[in-house]
Amino acid sequence: MRLRFVSAIFFVLLFVHTGWTATSWADDVVPPCLSYGRDLPINNQQVLHWKRTTPNQFRERAHVFGTVVQVFPDRNGHEHFVINIGKHGEDTIEVIYNQDFGPIPDPRIGMTVEACGDYITSTARSGPYPASPVGAIIHWVHANPSGRGHDPGFVVVDGKLCGQDAEGAGPRPRPRPPRRHR
């Protein structure tokens, strides 16, 4: 009996001292979502307000949590899927994930997603980019390979942290043409 009590006290102290929770053993450690160098809490309601009230190409940092409701085919090494972040069917945002920053579980309807990145109102074409089918996107949900000039992002899919492998990301060096010998 005394041994069980001592063991129980030990585990309680371990949890309190380390800050562990039951989910931290199963899930990856998620970094803070930074906005201009400050921790940004989940702001689903703010994002939905921006989606309803801002002009095309409005941009701001976002930290959202929701459930996958639609998946699009892979486009040029980018996963595109829609998550619902509110109470209504139209409370959605398209997540765009660049696979250069590491693998991501194949998104399926019903998966939970937490994403930190750049929100953009996307109601009309902008240069080569078509409008989002749902009118808003969150992208740059990955590490910053240069570490300068832009806060990093991330995406968590069903507890799996993605977007942190910056080594293989960024512009690819173009091969030099062979030299001509004279």
**Torsion angle in degrees (nearest 10) through CA of 89, 70, 109, 52:** -30
**Nearest partner of 147 among 169, 177, 120, 131, judged by Cα:** 169
Task: Give 108's contacts (C-beta < 8 A, 6+ positions apart).
Answer: 68, 71
Averaged over 150-166, what is the pLDDT?
A: 93
Averaged over 153-170, what is the pLDDT?
A: 89
- Cα dihedral sign, 157-77-45-85: negative
pLDDT interval class at 178 (50, 70, 90): low
User: Model confidence over 39-72: pLDDT tens digits?
Assistant: 999 999 999 999 999 999 999 999 999 999 999 9
Q: Are 50 and 57 in contact (CB under 8 A)?
A: no
pLDDT score, position 9? 41
Give residue limits of the domains in the chain.
31-162
pTM given for the model: 0.78
Domain 31-162 has CATH 3.40.1800.10: no
